[in-house]
Structure 1
Amino acid sequence: MKQLLGLILVAIFLIGGCGSDSDKLKKDTHEYELAKALAEKHSYLDPDQNNVLVKTNNFKLTVGEVITALFEGMGNRIDGLKDMPAENLKQYFENISERLAEQKMLLKKADAAGIKVSESEVDSLLQFQYERAGGVERFKSMLERTGVQMDFIRRDLEKNRKINRYLETILEAQLEISEQELQQAYNQDKTATVRHILMNTQGKSEQEKMEIYQKMEKILAEAKSGKDFATLANNYSEDPGSNTRGGLYEDFEQGAMVEPFDRAAFSLPVGEISDIVETQYGYHILKVLDRKKDTRPYDQVRSELLKEVKNQKRKEVVPNFIEELKQQEGFEIVSYES
């Protein structure tokens, strides 16, 4: 349930019409054959038409570009798209197209602003990836298994670093942190301990989700009537990380959980039981057992706080900036029928 935080941007654009021949997929290639297979579910994805998926005032993103980008990033896992239900496939393409298009838009802005990333910086970023993977050989072995090329990894690292540097430059004033903000952050609760009950809704239909919600309402009524919450969690919760421990999560830091769960854990009074909380995983009921503040001296944690508060502000400022930029650029995702 813990989420990996960070700025990950990808780009593609949806619009009516056909793209240029320069990004059209070539026949008798794996990319072309895949696009043909996907077009059986959504004819708009036909590689021969090379329809536009996203447009702005300055560029268009086509089916050919998106398929090519997916091949580079997914390697031999891409054939799994053939098994995706038609409804899910359309939503997937809309999401990935929007993200890829955002990346393309921001890269153009970064290039226009003269933002550069050196080879040595890319080497340093790549070294960090090696360390996370457990060493160079393990990282390369992973790439071999997935069929992803090292050149793609280097280009992707360079793109993301360029975008981040552009955002840091253009939003520098908005991302400044005052001493008052740091003091406020220091005085906030640092960790929370809760018990919770989860009923999973991932992959469920709307009808199934409604039935699950009704079950959760009955469980919530039991909890608020005074029944032992730990026993209810053991009996009903579908969270494998806690459903044998009375739904217990101890001393997790603020921001460690998905946002709706995190917000409830750090805003609900200690001892209280939440209403039903929905996250990407399903429906939750929380009981807050305890919260703690940081006991270390302020001077000792100031640099750590500065990083945390800046990251939080960045999560608020950057999406707003991107949405404003999309409006200025005439960013449009094409709606199409199967």
Structure 2
Amino acid sequence: MISLMKKIKIFMFCVILAFSAVFTLSLFFTGVKNANAVIVDQIIVVVNKTPITLYDFAKFDAVAFKNYENMQSDASRGIFTQSDVAIMSRTKDIINILVGKVLIKQEEKKAGIHIASEQLNTYVKSVAASNNFTEKQFFIFLKKKGIDKDAYINQVRDHFLELELLRKIYGNKIVISNKQMLDYYQKNIEEFRGEPMVNLKLIFLSVPPNAGKKLRASIYGKISKIRSMVVVGNKSFSELAKKYSEDPSEKSGGSIGYVYKDKLSPDFSKVAFKLHVGEVSSVIKTPFGYAILKSVGEKSGSFKTFKQVKAKIFSILEKHKTGEYLAKLLKKVRKNSYVKMLIAA
């Protein structure tokens, strides 16, 4: 069984992506707080004596909160549009999510679940190390993504707490076995195919940054003629590359070798992977000049081994299973809880 510390390493990057969106509210929210302090503190739901306010709403989704504010402003003037239906639907969804979060927190407290700071620190260090960062570098990386250190740690803590709560309630039902992971791997093998590669040759002619239309047309005409010599005249691409190309690859007959799509510039990648072996591209315009490519080989992506993707599969299955049992728990808990809506949603 994969250890707890390994179980959510991939989760870190999900957190990063989620937080990149959430933390855009920091600039917006200061203004909201100052301008509408009374409104933002308004209680919108009570969950077993725990209040949820508009502040919580804004913190969870700044854009949805702003839309809700605008809708309320329009409603005060008797204006109601079709888009308000979608805004109310989104508002209801967010309130239900916030209610669910409070209910889970209350259940964690009842169960006496606690995650020690030392455990979180150890986890953060392991995530940093697995991504070739020191702990300091890792938090600098998060900061560049707009993610506050304390907020990130709190998000990870919440995830650990949820997992522990579900384990305590459902036991082995949420355990991911090696057999389940292997079954998923075998049934979804295409998900784990590596990226294809193409073997390319290149002829490149540079265009000076300050070149006028006449010079550009002349260089374009020259590379078009070179292409014709290959396609129509059956001349050797390699020999022409050695003679005319202004790329370092000219010494090897224009050979770039096997490359992945993401290793090529967008100008080349959108053309290169559409070529058949032996085919020569049309003239490609780049920010630096003109080029032609020739495909001389291709490799289908090989399948990654089960060992290579085991952690990823665990993350997929864990997300599915925890989501399933979390929904099951929330349905049961909410039925036995006091939830009072104080706004129409």
TM range (shorter): 0.3 to 0.5
Query: Normalization by structure 2: what TM-score?
Result: 0.43
Larger helix proportion of the pair: 2
Mark the structure with the bigger radius of gyration: 2
